[in-house]
Amino acid sequence: MLTSSATTAPAGAGPRSPRRVSWDFLRVLAVLAVVLQHATHAGPANHPELGRPPFTVSLEMGASTLVVISAFFACASLAKGRPARFLRNRLARVLPAYAVAVVGTYLLLRWVAPAGWSELEPRDVVLNILLLQNWLPDVRFVDFSYWTLPVQVFGFVAAALLYSRTLGRGVGLRLLLWSLVVGPVVLREWTEDPGPLRTLFDGFAMHRAHLFAVGIAVYLWSRRRLHGAHLAAMLAAALTVQWVHSDDLPSTIGLGVLLLGVCAAAGGPDWRWGPLAALARPAGWLAGISFGVYLVHQEIGYVVMDRLVEFGAGPWTALAGFLGSAVLLGWLLTRFVERPVYRWLTEDGGLTAVVVRLALAFRLRRARWVADELGYLQAGNVGGWPTNVEPVSLPVSQPSIALAEPRTSAEFSVGSPSSHTA
């Protein structure tokens, strides 16, 4: 996904696999494609005052690749069998940094950007933080890069809910994947005009659903749960759908090349060879801050470029300023917001510990109340509490489970975790 969590090869039960740098290179390549496309194509097109770039990268393929990678690693996390923890961890890593980036970008556009660049209002900021920008047509995006956030959060929630259900495994899952690819193409015929169906289509970002299907299919194939021919058919169908939705053949071809890289990273050896081995460490560092870079690079980068051009900087200097500000601000956001807040929300001693203590206190209080009620009923008292609130012995005819051996998780599960996926 877009987060900066360490990427490893998907592992089942057993020791944690060593970090695979192939995923780091893929993530850096995808984010670089996004950043260069915005800096050299979208930026000058929307703000001609930025001047002509030294070169142009017009292919729109990086963000779609990141969504595919996100779906792949969502499956790898869900394979551990804890959907609630998976959802908590993903939201804890994504949403706080996103909220800070939204507010920071809005303040910069309001107080630093040239006049007329932005018409954002506080209402837009609130609704962007609440991830409602896809649902309400009159809401302005604080940054157009943020289209991926509602899409991914909805995907995380859906994956957690579907885990261990009929549509989350076996034939049901395969039918679901194909419906994600084909269904939106059919529905778009009825979403040309505004209306409830169009609102649902845009709100759930159904024109991006095939990207999640591809990520899940690649994961299943990497675990030998999907034949190579089936994966090839799904990749071909998904790329065709991408072309239909975007009407951009060159970008679709570029996405196809990156998806081949995703398959190579998922099913082949790690890329620790030749010059890539020497770049493994910097690639890992950049991959670690990639989510922060993605959140702060576009609108803020345009303001940086505008200021540099105003002071007489040339095209290459302006581009360097765009890239440098993205890396610096992305690192700051990761170092001082994303990682510490994530630890506070999920690790021992943070918010999780507070919630656990409150839950245990509530359960203890409830257990005492039940014990009091049990003693009251068995004593036969009416109209008052029993004078002795110590737990009473159960009748001989009532079986006791106090000393019974605890049942194992296997006795309650329907199937083994390896039979499930996102």
Question: For residue 60, what are the CA distances in angstroms to 48, 236, 249, 292?
Answer: 20, 18, 10, 20
Q: How many CA atoms does the CB half-sphere of 105 hold within 13 Å?
A: 36
Output DSSP code: residue 19.
B
Output DSSP code: residue 312.
T
Note whether 236 and 178 are within 8 A (CB). Answer: no
CA gap 422, 160 in Å, rounded: 7
Output DSSP code: residue 135.
T
Q: Measure CA of the first residue to CA of the last residue in the chain; give whole Å.
A: 14
Q: Report phi then psi at 306, rounded to 5.
A: -60, -45
Query: pLDDT per position in the chain (422 positions), as tens?
Result: 444 344 444 433 344 556 889 999 999 999 999 999 999 999 999 999 999 999 999 999 999 999 999 999 999 999 988 899 999 999 999 999 999 999 999 999 999 999 989 999 999 999 999 999 989 989 999 999 999 999 999 999 999 998 877 666 778 889 999 999 999 988 887 777 777 888 888 888 888 999 999 999 999 999 999 999 999 999 999 999 999 999 999 999 999 999 999 999 999 999 988 888 999 999 999 999 999 999 999 999 999 999 999 999 999 999 999 999 999 999 999 999 999 999 999 986 565 555 555 666 666 666 666 556 555 445 544 444 344 444 444 443 333 333 333 333 333 333 333 333 33
- Tokens of residue 270, six digits: 């790690």
Cα 230 from chain centroid (whole Å): 26
Q: Is 8 helix (H, G, I), strand (E, B) or coil?
A: strand
Cα–Cα nearest to 44, from 290, 318, 248: 318
CA gap 125, 109 in Å, rounded: 12
- Tokens of residue 368, six digits: 């005492």
Cα–Cα nearest to 75, from 212, 206, 210, 178: 212
**H or E segment and range at residue 62:** helix 62-78
Residues 359, 80, 157, 411: is their CA dihedral positive or negative?
negative
Residue with tokens 């890539």: 276
CA gap 213, 258 in Å, rounded: 16
Instruction: Give me the residues paired with residue 8 across strands.
Output: 19
Cα–Cα nearest to 421, from 65, 9, 71: 71
Q: Report phi then psi at 82, rounded to 5.
A: -130, 75
Cα–Cα nearest to 158, from 179, 186, 182, 189: 179
Note whether 70 and 152 are within 8 A (CB). Answer: yes
